[in-house]
Amino acid sequence: MSMADIRDSAPVAATGTQIDVRGLEIEYETSGGPVHALGPIDLTIGAGEFVSVVGPSGCGKSTLLKAVAGLIRPSAGGVSIGGAPITKPHSDLGIVFQNPLLMDWRSVLSNVLLQAEMRSMPKQQATAKAKALLAQVGLAGFENRRPHELSGGMQQRVGICRALLHEPPLIMMDEPFGALDALTREQMCYDLQDLWLERRPTVLFITHSISEATLLSDRVIVMSKRPGQILAEYEMTRPRPRLLDDDEHPEVDRVSREIRRLLGVTDHATTKKAS
């Protein structure tokens, strides 16, 4: 593995695209009247930056991701990607949705290859790439199964392979490891870290896991309850590749505590000690 070289040499030239979010607000029309789901949000994600978003359930994280991807129209403000204002769905990216969104009528492999079909990628190369990705996430031998024959965590991994197949310069992931067991989740985190170190895509990563956020990110964004706004941002500067059990690291320790405090988690052990 060439990870050591990457660390020691000058940073790999970023292949990612910059994202600018300005005054973004989203209101959903519902039968019970408009629901103010998000914003206003101001956020810049640099080219090749890895940004995580954490926040309480229902605060608008998925809404933010969809709005940035151009999949829902802002009620106010807007988004630019690579300097160009987004007016329709942006397609130069890979998205992992919160729900695996696999097509029942396609095999696992064919679900991953949907990406290739839609982008007219050469069939043979794409198939080889898809098989390699599936093997990497531990799904070798499942290529010809139907999605319903897979567990929730396996389905999620298929969705991840589909989002990465075309090596996009921008990756958006909505709680991609939510349904995984602890060990697979760790492995996937490390794989994602490697991928990012190799190619430096811009990543918008939504998670409920503070350890995932502190492991992977250049910056962690904490969102408030609905309508979601940015409560705080934390730069994560410790060198990569990082390890998950680095809780002792002062930066990780401090940021984790602050996020927990912001999100209202009371730590009885510390409060007792302090008093």
Ligand X SMILES: Nc1ncnc2c1ncn2[C@@H]1O[C@H](COP(=O)(O)OP(=O)(O)OP(=O)(O)O)[C@@H](O)[C@H]1O
The set of residues, in sequence order, having a beta carbon less than 8 Å from that of 146 and lying 6+ positions away, is 104, 107, 108
Residue type, 20: D
Measured CA to CA, the distance from residue 112 to residue 166 in angstroms comes to 10
Q: Any contact of residue 243 with other proteins (CB under 8 A)?
A: no
Using the CB atoms, write b or e for 27-44: b if 16+ within 10 Å. Answer: beeeeeeeeebbbbbebe
Q: Residue 127 or 209: which CB sits closer to ligand X?
A: 209
Q: Which listed residue (19, 37, 68, 69) binds other proteins by CB under 8 A?
A: 69
Count residues binding other proteins (CB under 8 A): 21
The set of residues, in sequence order, having a beta carbon less than 8 Å from that of 185 and lying 6+ positions away, is 177, 209, 212
Judged by CB under 8 A, the stretch of 39-47, 116-124, 135-143, 231-239 that binds other proteins is 116-124
Residues 166 and 116: beta-carbon distance below 8 Å: yes
Q: Residue 110 or 207: which CB sits closer to Mg ion?
A: 207
Pattern 134-173, other proteins, x by CB under 8 A? ------------x-x-------------------------
Measured CA to CA, the distance from residue 239 to residue 94 in angstroms comes to 26
Element (H, E) at 35: strand 33-45
Judged by CB under 8 A, the stretch of 73-81, 90-98, 131-139, 243-251 that binds other proteins is 90-98
* Least gap, CB of 165 to other proteins (angstroms): 10
Lay out the sheet containing 202-206: strands in order across: 94-96, 170-174, 202-206, 50-54, 219-223, 230-235
Q: Which listed residue (5, 8, 104, 248) binds other proteins by CB under 8 A?
A: 104
Q: Any contact of residue 34 with other proteins (CB under 8 A)?
A: no
| Binding-site partner at residue 99 among Mg ion, other proteins, ligand X, none, CB < 5 to 8 Å by type | other proteins
The β-bridge relationship of strands 33-45 and 19-30 is antiparallel
Q: Any contact of residue 229 with ligand X (CB under 6 A)?
A: no
122 prior amide bond cis, ω within 30: no
Q: Any contact of residue 226 with ligand X (CB under 6 A)?
A: yes
| Binding-site partner at residue 2 among Mg ion, ligand X, other proteins, none, CB < 5 to 8 Å by type | none
* Least gap, CB of 90 to other proteins (angstroms): 7
Q: Which listed residue (35, 47, 101, 243) binds other proteins by CB under 8 A?
A: 101
Measured CA to CA, the distance from residue 185 to residue 198 in angstroms comes to 20
Q: Residue 141 or 152: which CB sits closer to Mg ion?
A: 152
Measured CA to CA, the distance from residue 195 to residue 178 in angstroms comes to 19
Q: Any contact of residue 60 with ligand X (CB under 6 A)?
A: yes
Q: Residue 107 or 193: which CB sits closer to other proteins?
A: 107
Please report, as ranges, the residues that interact with other proteins according to CB under 8 A.
66, 69, 71, 89-91, 93, 95, 97, 99, 101, 103-105, 114-115, 117-119, 146, 148
